Chains A and B, each alone.
Chain A
Amino acid sequence: MSQFLSKHNSVRPTRRRFLVGAGVTTAGLAVGYRLVLAASDIAQTTTAKVQANPFQTYVEITKGNRIIIYSSQFEMGQGSYFGIATLVMEELDGDWAQVDVVGGYGNTALYGNLAWGGAAQATGGSTSMSSSWERYRKAGAAARALLVAAAAQRWDVPAGEIKVASGVVSHASGMQARYGDLAEAAAGMPVPDDVPLKPRDKWAQIGSDSLKRYDSAGKTNGAQTYTIDLMMEGLQTAVMIHPPKFGAEIESFDATKAKALDGIVDVVQTPRGIAVVGRDTWTALKGRDLVEVTWNEEKAEGRGTAEIMAEYNKAADDLGAATARDDGNTPAAFASAEKIIEGHYEFPYLVHASIEPLNAAARINEDGTIDVWGGHQMPDLYQAAAAQVGGTTPDKVRLHVMKTGGSFGRRAVLDADVIIEAVSTARALGRGKPVKVQWTRENDMRGGRYRPAYVHAVKAGLDKKGNVVALHDHIVGQSVLGGSTSAAMIKNGIDPTSVEGATNLPYAIPNLKVELTTTDVNIPVLWWRSVGSTHTAYAVETLIDELAAAANRDPVDFRLSMLGHHPRHAAVLKVAAEKAGWDKPLPEGRFRGVALHESLSTYVADVVEITLNDENGFKVDRVVCAVDCGTAINPDQIRAQMEGGIGFGLGAILQEELTLKGGVVDQENYDTYTPLRIEQMPRVEVHIVPSEEPPTGVGEPGVPPIGPAVANALRAATGKTIRKLPIIKNMSGMTP
């Protein structure tokens, strides 16, 4: 969701002053005191009002000495909570053993995503670290300053003589206190006008290679809980019946048999399907089999992917509906080109397929307020959606931001799908009756919100010297933003998420044209880890490689010769090539490929090695990855995201594909939709290019280069570029 909110009009609010207030928490029977560290733009807020909303905070230090960090950014495995905690702890000098991070919500002034101008709280586009970089360091620094001031007053010593280490404040006189001991007094200290941040050479946490995630142990013993694990008094489980085709509507349904089953609580219609509510999941599933539904398919999408792709291929040869970039004069350049390479690329629909199937829980309380538990990747939007379905106002909706078993974009859905289902089911059950809506794998696979299918018609020309003189890319497919609350982002017919990665091509090509034709297909689509770059990088980087071969040039040198104005691209490419031993010969039967791509302001180059095998197949043995994401906050997590992004992207280009026939999705489960498994995972080495630039993200940018790098290795082996994905299904007949 890179440009979900424009990064071009981002504001950088100054956060120079911090509001401090003492607030009372009611965690169990304990009463604690909190430091409320708020942005200057709400500095006029009264302390009383802050106390009324216990979520208006970044850092809370309890009397019991816990450090609770309220994260604006959602944790879905990518390590945003750890990253934000690292920023706070760098300045706070606290004790990591005391840290917990929870999801904040309900205050856009505090939690709005600064990378997108701050207008909404949302996680995506790999912006968590860039949005948090100043905000959370300042919060940590302010908390530390107040704790030191409190100690100085209590001990009657100059603040400058006080030392802080691992959450313990001390003075040479022998006085010593834990943060928790000082929290109450600190909350009453005058707030410093500005809080200086540590200079780079004093950092102990940021950039530390030995710092480990604070949340790993709970993920090894079953202690970490997700939405599916919720337990509370009276909780029922609901399973969903969704329309068999996208756009079909419920004509009527008969739940008599289901309701007769012991343990079935109710069967209710929601705006998105039928919820079968039972005392446990198994009972609800058995009840679901007994519901008879008649569907009205008049408005349903009836096409299959074969028809859709045929239409796209035809449209791709026509003029584009809109032009996203037009440098020079491509038709003239093609007319005088010495050699032309052209063809169509085909990209299938892809599923996020997180292992925790979609879910959410809701309860309408006796006082009319609503509690909603779930993977709240877009809290402002979900709060508003829950209020609307629940018949109340957003301030009456309390969100519980749960950890989630993956997202890859799927938990950031603009129509708040599973939230709507949970709240409307809870409303139908009545006040005081919590319900958890739990999708099955089949619901998840057939529930829509896919990476759109695309066709690219590409054409590129070389001159006599082997220089790329022109490149034309016509992209055909659905718009992720179209029809959504972010549709305003579409300018002049261009959804930027459809063309990103092609329009910002770094190579010096004098005549470059990118066109877009947005299609009208009633299959719900969504951002999918690295969004537009999932297909543009593949098309562009395999094409560039083919051009290098046609020009009889080395693929690395060829790229470097066109990157004079893009030193960060060039640097990662050089590092990957050097670390991979690009110039060294390979054993018989082994081949290399390279690809380079910047997405979301992070630069990644991959060099892969593949081995052909007897069954006319191949194995990816090794990937050497170089990444420049600006200042490295958690180096080991950068490596983890590159490793994971490579595995995620590799599965997609090798063997993932969602198809439909007559409007019905063919795949239902992991037996037919097949993410990467361990035996297919290559050895991965990640090299982080040192940088003092501001940090950018790593959750998504590891995905785009792996596909074209593998395809380029296959072309090195066979002389053919695979232009139709997934690779394994479409490589039959290729021979070395």
Chain B
Amino acid sequence: MVAFTLNGEARTLDVDPEMPLLWAVRDVIGLTGTKFGCGLAQCGACTVHVNGMPTRSCQTAVGDIEGASITTIEGVSGKIGETVQAVWAEFDVPQCGYCQSGQIMSAVALLTETPKPSDDDIDSAMSGNLCRCATYHRIRAAIHETANRLET
């Protein structure tokens, strides 16, 4: 039995402790916004926040999250997160949209840590998030715009 916080709520899970957090969140808890893409921490579609840090949930075992605070795309809140989501939609960043939960989780973490990121900051923070539709051009623009709006 593992106890942790998920999107602000206390939770317990009684599953194989080796089960990746990704599958626990999706198949057991039923929150499907976090996506499976590779199972190898190569694509970033499964990115969640573990104690605020962007983390690949496909490589995080349930047994290792005792006491941790987990945020998934469904739990994004606060000024930074909501501004990122609003700008993302306004700029029509998503095409198929499948990787965008992971993109947004990485972008929120970046802007929390670095309120005014440069292109290089964006590239290094977002490098782990593949987008096969290659919406990268708009992701960069949306992160800059979010930073601008949060500044004012």
Contact = CB atoms under 8 A, between A and B. Distances in A.
Interface in A313-359: 353-357
A644 B134 CA distance: 5
Interface in A208-225: 212-213, 215-225
Contacts of B98: 77, 226, 354-356, 404-406
A222 B101 contact: yes
B96 A406 contact: yes
Given A220-B104, A222-B74, A677 B127 contact: yes
Given A216-B93, A678-B122, A221 B85 contact: yes
B37 interface: yes
Nearest to A237: B27
Interface in B84-120: 84-85, 88-90, 92-101, 104
B33 A221 contact: yes
Given A212-B90, A228-B32, A406 B132 contact: yes
Contact of B134 (A226, A440, A636, A676): A676
Interface residues of A, number: 62
B19 to A, nearest CB: 5
A644 B133 contact: yes
Give the bracket for the number of chain B residues in contact with chain A.
35 or more
A283 B16 CA distance: 9
B136 interface: yes
B23 A651 contact: no
A226 B33 CA distance: 10
Given A216-B92, A675-B130, A357 B32 contact: no
Q: Chain B at the A interface: mostly helix, strand, loop or mixed?
A: loop
A39 interface: no
A643 B74 contact: no
Interface stretch (A22-30, A288-296, A473-481, A679-687): A679-687
Contacts of A681: 134, 136-137, 140
Contacts of B30: 231
A683 B123 CA distance: 13
A684 B137 CA distance: 7
A669 interface: yes
A216 B89 contact: yes
B138 A216 contact: no
A220 B132 contact: no
Contact of A669 (B38, B90, B95, B139): B38
B8 to A, nearest CB: 15
B34 interface: yes
A128 interface: no
B150 interface: no
A275 B94 CA distance: 33
Closest 7 CB pairs of A and B: A222-B33, A647-B134, A405-B98, A77-B96, A219-B97, A77-B95, A681-B136
Interface of A: 76-79, 212-213, 215-226, 228-229, 231, 237, 280-283, 286, 353-357, 403-406, 408, 438, 440-441, 636-637, 640, 643-648, 650-651, 669-671, 675-679, 681, 683-684
Given A678-B126, A678-B131, 4 more contacts: A441-B39, A647-B135, A670-B43, A678-B123
